[in-house]
Copies of this chain bind each other. A is one copy, B any other.
Amino acid sequence: MRIEINQKLLAAHTNIVQKAISSRTTLQILDGILLKTVDGKLKLTATDLEIGIESYVDCNIIEEGSIVVNSRIFGDIVKRLPDSTVNISVVDSNINIKCENSEFNIKGSLAFEYPELPLVINQNTFKVPKDLLKSAIRQTIFATTQDETRPILTGVLLEIEEGLGSFVALDGYRLALRSIPIETKENIKIVIPGRVLGELSKILDDTDEEITITVAPNHIIFDLGDTKVSSRLLEGQFINYKDIIRKDHKTSVRVDKKALQDSLERASLLAKEEKANLVRLSIRDDQITIKSNTEIGDVNEQVFCHKDGDDLNIAFNFRYIIEGIKVIDSEEIDLFFMGELNPCIINPTDEENYTYLVLPVRIAKQEDY
């Protein structure tokens, strides 16, 4: 292999595919990036066997070929080379990198040892604008579980029915649901690993440019043009989330999102000093009182609101309620309650596309409010 390639371009695309490298890999070859000349471009590939990223970079090919090079070392070198043309040539398993007055010789591995990424042809394909996909990921991914013993819940469900795509994540304590319009030929119901969506989100910019998504029985491919991100899908039955979201509330509250979030965050400063992470909400008339009592001291926050329905005392793990409110972009939010032992549902005001549901914590004595 012998190529000439622009340093800035090579560094940018190396940085993209590096997101597929796992620090926990046990296969040494997976620490590497596969460089290969394909269709007049340099193709960079990295994978940890769950997520795979390949990226095509314009270059001048003098001799076709391929090599696997350690991702961290290659990335560090390329990033620090001068902003100029980089000459890469491979002899046997040695890679030579020249740029202006710098020359590196690095030991690589032969390309045939590198695993193939899944190839998906003629499957269900649809398009989604980058900014909508990015926002759907941001509003749901935090509600996946980190608990590896419940693998299906480490992923985000994507269910597409009749032009509506629903992204759903839940961990047994809260549920986040975001809907965006997606046109498909067939209905789709798949679970995408949370880690893959997190890495994908980092390389999506906030434009309405569309990306192409292809779904096969075991895989999904996000095609961003120069870059393709592929992932295996999680196997198993996702919880029937629709049954969880009930509508028979007894108390509804409309409140300024920032005011409530700020007050909850201040109350959590004391709550986080203790394991239970408990904040108590007392909703009376047009006021939410937020309290937390700990050994260090106590806090009392008042937030003005519009309330309909019954007065209510209810307690939450502050982390679960704050995380759901934080990702909402509207100025006002609506909170719906079905009593102190039932979940609270949070929606942006005047927006049907986001629902957050959070379970309360049961408090022994009502006098504690």
Measuring CB to CB, which residues of chain A are less than 8 angstroms from any residue of chain B? 70, 73, 76-77, 80-82, 94, 101-107, 262-263, 265-266, 269-270, 273, 295-303
Contact = CB atoms under 8 A, between A and B. Distances in A.
A79 to B, nearest CB: 9
A270 B102 contact: no
A302 B273 CA distance: 56
A36 to B, nearest CB: 20
Contacts of A70: 296
B297 A102 contact: no
Given A80-B266, A82-B262, A73 B273 contact: yes
Contacts of A301: 101-103
A323 B101 CA distance: 22
B263 A104 contact: no
Interface pairs A-B: 10 shortest CB-CB: A106-B297, A101-B302, A103-B300, A76-B269, A105-B297, A104-B299, A80-B266, A105-B298, A102-B301, A107-B297
Nearest to A291: B103
Contacts of A73: 269-270, 273, 296-297
Contact of A102 (B101, B273, B296, B299): B299
Given A80-B262, A82-B262, A262-B80, A103 B299 contact: yes
B82 A296 contact: no
A269 B80 contact: yes
5 contacts: A76-B269, A80-B262, A94-B297, A102-B263, A104-B266
A227 to B, nearest CB: 25
A105 B262 CA distance: 18
A102 B302 CA distance: 7
A28 to B, nearest CB: 13
